[in-house]
Amino acid sequence: KNLHKKTMGCCISAIACCFCSSAASLCCTCLPSCKSSTSSRIMYSLIFLLGAALCCIMLIPDLDKTLQKIPALCDNYKIDTQIGQIDTKIYSGFKCYLVIGYGAVYRVAFGMTCFFVLFALLMIKVESSKDPRSKIQNGFWFFKLLILIGLWVGAFFIPAESAFINVWMVIGMIGGFLFILIQLVLLIDFAHCWNEAWTKSYEESENRCYYIGLLIFSILFFVLALALTILLYVFYASDASCHMSKAFVSVNLILCILVTGLSVLPKVQDHQRSGILQSGLISLYVMYLTWSAVTSVPEKACNPTLEMVNYTMVPPTSSSGSTTTAAPPVTGDSVVAQFNWETGVSLAIFLILVIYSSIRTAAHSNVGKLGLQ
């Protein structure tokens, strides 16, 4: 009996150590060692991608129906079919409608923003790993994850009736604009590094495959940009009422032509690692942004993909007699949109650039000179 008590005491003591002085060791065994700036960027990028994946999950169509199938998980209501409204709540559970739709995405984004702003403020004036605060930047990942989860949970306690959604939507639009500019800088940096690497390889090895490869990709980007421009005129700006779409496509086409013209000027050509590859990639990206914009036009005549974007609410379901449902009265948080091609392409570009920015070293990157790494 005494042996049993001693054994239990040892087990409890070992478990207690995990929550006290040995917590750091426990975290290090579960998560990779991230002492360098590059590995820290990778970890922060993974956290960023985790939040993005969570947002995508919250926009999955029919997610509410899947949650309703889990017994006693969601609030359950009794529906009066004569008036089509909620009669009484049968039992209380989790408010599942809060974790689906754009409202849930805004809350997750709010938690992530608070997380990154918090650590950005902590790292003010930190210029090297010798600063004691750099340990906060490069370690304690387990506790950082706990802080992030806490911020996410706290965001869902913000009342749905408050002005949070509308205010955060405006902040999100401003942040989205800034993020597009950052993406543009990253693309320019990527194209420059690509051009520099292949040009250097061509000069050192005199292998014409590098030169031909740069030429092929440059032409390919311009051809794709031109094809996308033609498709935009045909499908999104052909109707006489599509003045806004025509203006957007035309202005961006002119800007792409100007950028291409500047890239072939003698002053630019004096720098062997600058040329039409960068302008071709940027032209393609600009026309993609134009496509992304015109797909948001609410007029069917100017947006053939409007019917593909199926915005739905999450209303209570009913059938003959009184039934039960996991959905409460419909709120702004319950708006859900299905994925389309524009969303998929945007997500792919987002993932590629986040990964590139995390593995690209600031010392060899023009992005680092701009303070973005």
Longest CA–CA separation in the chain, Å:
91
Q: How far apart, in whole angstroms, are the C-alpha atoms of residue 37 and residue 27?
A: 19
Sequence letter at residue 177: F
Angle at 331 between CA 89 and CA 152, to 5 degrees: 95
Q: What is the mean pLDDT of the chain?
A: 73
Domain end among 160, 180, 197: 160
Residue with more model confidence, 271 or 12: 271
Q: Which two tokens stand for residue 178?
A: 């800034």
Residues 260 and 354 grouped into a single domain: yes
- As a dihedral over the C-alpha atoms of residue 335, residue 338, residue 341, residue 343, rounded to 10 degrees, the angle is 40
Question: Tell me: the pLDDT tens digits for 109-126?
Answer: 899 999 999 988 888 887
Domain end among 143, 160, 177: 160
Q: Is residue 86, in this structure, part of any structural domain at all? A: no
Residues 143 and 169 grouped into a single domain: no
Residues 143 and 262 grouped into a single domain: no
Residues 99 and 238 grouped into a single domain: no
Indicate if the pLDDT at residue 48 is higher than 70: yes
- As a dihedral over the C-alpha atoms of residue 84, residue 88, residue 93, residue 99, rounded to 10 degrees, the angle is 30
Q: Where are the beta strands (DSSP E) in the chain?
A: 76-80, 85-91, 311-312, 323-325, 336-337
pTM: predicted TM-score of the whole model, two decimal places: 0.69
Q: 229: domain range?
A: 165-315+331-362
Q: How far apart, in whole angstroms, are the C-alpha atoms of residue 138 and residue 119?
A: 11
Residues 266 and 180 grouped into a single domain: yes
Measuring CA to CA, which residue among 331, 355, 260 is closest to residue 100? 331
Mean pLDDT for 150-159 is 88
| Number of independent structural domains in the chain | 2
Indicate if the pLDDT at residue 102 is higher than 70: yes
- Cβ-based neighbours of 20, under 8 Å, separated by 6 or more: none
Q: How far apart, in whole angstroms, are the C-alpha atoms of residue 212 and residue 214?
A: 5
Residues 345 and 202 grouped into a single domain: yes
Indicate if the pLDDT at residue 104 is higher than 60: yes
Domain end among 160, 175, 202: 160
Measuring CA to CA, which residue among 214, 218, 243, 246 is closest to residue 232? 246
